Structure 1
Amino acid sequence: MKREKRDESAPPLPFLPCDLIFNILSWLPVKSILRFKCVCKSWLTLFTDPDFVKKHLSQSQNHKLIVSCEFDNFFSVICENHDPKPIHNINSKIRGIEVNFLGSSYGLVLYATGGAGASNRLYLLNPTTEKFNRLPVLPSLIDQITVSYGFGYVASIDDYKVVAISSSLNGVSDFESITSVYTLKTNSWRRIQDRTLEVLPFEGSGILLHGVIHWLRPHWSNITCFDLVEEKFQYMPLPADLQIDPLSNKLTCGVLRGCLCISFIIQDQDLMFSREFWVMTEYGKRESWTNVWSTIGFDSIKSLNFSNSAKEDLFLVDKRWLVGYNVEKDSFSRYRANYNPTTNIEAEIYLESMVSP
């Protein structure tokens, strides 16, 4: 079959400057970019260019939820209209391994296999591209009993940091701890603080806000903070005159609509339990702590710092249910489960990106 000759009188194909192509492509969803890698060599090179990856990340507004069922794969989902729809399974190689999410920042998720203990392996994952990186083994203390982690992106140095606080028992009741920091660019750990006596183990993984990691500690009336830029510790006071015990009142820390948040269980005169939520409306100012609402006395609750199209804030309740809370209606709505509701789940919000872990 003869190819038809191009009409020479037809106008030439338009020429687009490279800068314009760069800007247009940077607005595409990651799924389209991955598909367009095979268009030409110049696009393949462009999509791996650090400037393009950074530009694309700065414009990305597509948040998704990554969910891990107990001893199963984890998968990415979209949560809209109380129907979490799975997009795809991620990294099938980890099937049969317990996964614990430790934080999410600028397109990457930090997780540990086998839980969050000292002997477990850490990974950085981009759920969108499904690429992951196994971190080097964390230097540990003798008789180490607990490790708490924090994770975040540091814009000033364009790098990701993982903070690990290792604690061990020194004697009968005294604790000692060391702090180690991992940076993605060096792919290595370094200690930044000598062993310190009488430091109680931190509770859970840290909460990232304003470039600072926040932890709760049992029996302490403040929040311990670690500045990722200065790599220094400081303390954030809890609301004044708040008579609670972090353990018995099941105090939790999180981020709610861009503000530092705590919640805890209280019992009223009728012996009914409820959970109060407080937010720090002006970061760093103790007097700005505000009681925003009280609700059902859930045993455990994790704010996922995400609001859906129905203007509901999304929570993981009792490690089993995804629940939306509508502030205006003062009501909770349980999302339909597409996983086994009898098993525990882990959940974390992440931002779609091209960032390589």
Structure 2
Amino acid sequence: MLFARKFNGENLVSDEASHQNSNRSNPANPSMPTEIIVEILSRLPVKSLLKFRCVSKSWLALISSSEFIKSHLSLSANNKIHLRNIEESNLDYLMKNLDISFLFEGSVNGLICLVNRAKNIYLWNPTIRKYKKLPDHKIEPKPLSRSIYGFGYDKIHDDYKVVLYNFDEVAMYSLKNDSWRRIDCPRNEGRLMNTGKFVNGKLYWATTNDLDLRVWSITSFDLTDEKWRKVERPCGNDVLVLGVLESNLSIMIRSNATTNIEVWVIKEYENKESWMKMFTINYTLDRVEYFIAQSFYLTKRGEFLIMFRPYNIIYDSNDNSIGCLDLRTFDFGLLTDFYIQSLVFPFSQN
């Protein structure tokens, strides 16, 4: 399921269905072992499980338990996720401008991190219709600077964390502790750019020291040991965009010297030599600025979708063909991310 990075929506939550009548009998088959019931339920979609909470008190307790939620999430996360096939069309799609109320700042295990115009931060699970407004981080915005966010999951401490970067100040929110605290700033790594990409317990940002945005590098932050590190890029220092392809950190590089776009993927993050080039696209961009802060994805058929303003490129590596989807009406880049339906609560269950 895809979520647009910028979308409209004020009502993040609706009333949950009332609890079942306490006198309702348990219709579960008493001859069926509990292990079998758990195995069956853990493979069902979230919307079905929300209904089954009303079957009995025991099923409500089971489906709401942290152990079951983790088991269900594990099965959901292991399903391969692709974009739907994009059917060929000669039509240009003109889309209506929307009044955007929230910025999408990441999605992990069914939780979405949102920031509104007032800079309030929310964690939201749209599937179970629950959200939480985070406490004030007390970091004042800097002139001519904007806040950069990252959202991820610390598996070691079983904790969801939000990182807020504002030039020379960095704070991290812990859902388990429901509090913010200051952490060290990245040193000599340049300015973090755009929303962090979460991969295997770490957040990754494209960074630049150059005001002209011509010298780029990659910086990571480990949510467990809270250490900033520089990730060696495969080559050069040209403009790059971070992404995640098949659960691996990926980069898209726009050469300053050519019109080529290169796509690389890495699997051994401490080894620069493990960067592997997936393909090169020869495409002329009207303006270099259009390439900044964009995203890219693979479709189920292996097509490569590059999303940037005002066009979206569809590249097929099988025959090196390039298509274009026109979304001219938007004043902002249409950025998307994957979302996994889950039962994870946006607040601590401790």
TM range (shorter): 0.7 to 0.9
Tell me which amino acid in the other structure corresponds to 1:224.
T
Report if aligned partners of 2:115, 2:122 keep a CA contact under 8 Å in 1.
yes
Q: CA deviation at 1:122?
A: 1.3
Matched, 1:347 2:336: yes
Q: Please report the TM-score for the alignment, with normalisation by the length of structure 1.
A: 0.72
1:25-78 CA deviation, whole Å, 9 max, x = no partner? 11101111112222222222222111111111011148799xxxxxxxxxxxx9
Q: Distance in 2 between matches of 1:234 and 1:131?
A: 34
Matched, 1:239 2:199: no
Structure 1 residues 292 and 310: alpha-carbon distance in aligned structure 2, compared to 1, 3 A threshold: closer
- SS where residue 183 of structure 2 aligns? strand
Structure 1 residues 130 and 142: alpha-carbon distance in aligned structure 2, compared to 1, 3 A threshold: closer
Matched, 1:110 2:113: yes
Q: Trace 1:141-220 onto structure 2 (pairs within 5 A).
A: 141=140, 143=142, 145-167=145-167, 177-193=168-184, 200-218=190-208, 219=210
Matched, 1:290 2:276: yes
Q: CA deviation at 1:192?
A: 1.9
Report if aligned partners of 2:189, 2:207 keep a CA contact under 8 Å in 1.
no
Q: CA deviation at 1:341?
A: 5.6
Structure 1 residues 27 and 201: alpha-carbon distance in aligned structure 2, compared to 1, 3 A threshold: same
Query: Which residue is 1:80 aligned to?
Result: 84
Higher relative contact order (CA 8 A, sep 6+): 2
Structure showing greater radius of gyration is 1
Q: Distance in 2 between matches of 1:147 and 1:183?
A: 18
1:270-323 CA deviation, whole Å, 9 max, x = no partner? xx7332222234322122333332223453374455x443233444332764x6
% identity of equivalent residues: 33
Q: Distance in 1 between matches of 2:186 and 2:74?
A: 39
Query: Which residue is 1:127 aligned to?
Result: 126
Q: Distance in 2 between matches of 1:309 and 1:261?
A: 17
- SS where residue 235 of structure 1 aligns? strand
Q: Distance in 2 between matches of 1:141 and 1:313?
A: 40
1:223-242 CA deviation, whole Å, 9 max, x = no partner? 111111100111112224x1
Q: CA deviation at 1:19?
A: 2.3
Report if aligned partners of 1:255, 1:303 keep a CA contact under 8 Å in 2.
no
Q: Distance in 2 between matches of 1:63 and 1:139?
A: 39
- SS where residue 21 of structure 1 aligns? helix
- SS where residue 339 of structure 2 aligns? strand
Q: CA deviation at 1:256?
A: 2.4
Matching residue within 293, 296, 316 for 1:326: 316
Q: Distance in 1 between matches of 2:311 and 2:178?
A: 34
Q: CA deviation at 1:209?
A: 1.5
Q: CA deviation at 1:142?
A: 6.8
- SS where residue 252 of structure 2 aligns? strand
Q: Distance in 2 between matches of 1:328 and 1:230?
A: 42
From the two aligned structures, give the one with the greater strand fraction: 1
Report if aligned partners of 2:107, 2:337 keep a CA contact under 8 Å in 1.
yes
Q: CA deviation at 1:120?
A: 1.3
Q: CA deviation at 1:184?
A: 1.0
1:132-151 CA deviation, whole Å, 9 max, x = no partner? 21111222147453221111
Query: Which residue is 2:71 aligned to?
Result: 55
Matched, 1:34 2:50: yes
Q: Structure 1: where are the runs of 5+ without partners?
A: 1-12, 66-77, 84-94, 168-176
Between the two proteins, the alignment pairs up a number of residues equal to 294
Structure 1 residues 60 and 285: alpha-carbon distance in aligned structure 2, compared to 1, 3 A threshold: same
Structure 1 residues 236 and 124: alpha-carbon distance in aligned structure 2, compared to 1, 3 A threshold: same
Q: Distance in 2 between matches of 1:229 and 1:178?
A: 19
Q: Distance in 2 between matches of 1:265 and 1:135?
A: 37
Matching residue within 259, 266, 276 for 2:248: 259
Q: Please report the TM-score for the alignment, with normalisation by the length of structure 2.
A: 0.73
Q: Distance in 2 between matches of 1:62 and 1:150?
A: 23
Matched, 1:275 2:252: no
Structure 1 residues 107 and 332: alpha-carbon distance in aligned structure 2, compared to 1, 3 A threshold: farther
Q: Structure 2: where are the runs of 5+ without partners?
A: 1-28, 88-97
